[in-house]
């Protein structure tokens, strides 16, 4: 089973996600799923990530498997934020290259991009 998660976000972020999906020849919901499924066990400090609270002029509805939604809900609940805010912050950080997918051998996770800090 799946559940719909509605995420308010800047139109520019929605455009980047849809463009990434088109280039990857995948549905946008699959791109978002691949990013968010690695967030709950990620190696990063959520509080250090920036939330985009102004100009949330787009709404992105994504259908995700129930097990991913449950994990996102637990992670968001621990931080005291709604799942939609948690998802927006993760997506924004991923597309700003603050977070990257890291191969741990048996699985992937999201982690802070330390290379970005060195080049900044």
Instruction: Quick: pLDDT tens for 73-101.
Output: 999 999 999 999 999 999 999 999 999 99
Domains and CATH numbers, the chain: 2-119 (1.10.1220)
| pTM metric for this prediction | 0.90
The four Cα atoms 80, 57, 7, 9 give a dihedral, to 10 degrees, of -70
Between CA 77 and CA 82 the distance in angstroms is 7
pLDDT for 118 beyond 80: no
Whether the CB-CB separation of 104 and 29 falls below 8 Å is answered with no
Q: What percent of the chain has pLDDT over 90?
A: 78
Mean pLDDT of 44-69: 90
What is the rounded average pLDDT for all residues in the chain? 91
pLDDT for 13 beyond 90: yes
């Amino acid at each position: 089973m799946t559940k719909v998660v509605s995420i308010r976000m800047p139109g520019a972020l929605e455009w980047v996600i849809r463009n990434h999906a088109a280039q990857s020849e995948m549905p946008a919901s699959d791109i978002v799923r691949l990013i968010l499924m690695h967030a709950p066990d990620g190696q990063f400090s959520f509080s250090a990530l920036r939330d985009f609270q102004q100009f949330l002029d787009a709404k992105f509805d994504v259908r995700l498997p129930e097990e991913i939604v449950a994990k996102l809900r637990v992670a968001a609940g621990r931080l005291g934020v709604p799942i939609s805010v948690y998802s927006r912050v993760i997506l924004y950080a991923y597309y700003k290259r603050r977070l990257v997918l890291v191969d741990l051998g048996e699985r992937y996770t999201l982690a802070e991009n330390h290379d970005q800090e060195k080049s900044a």
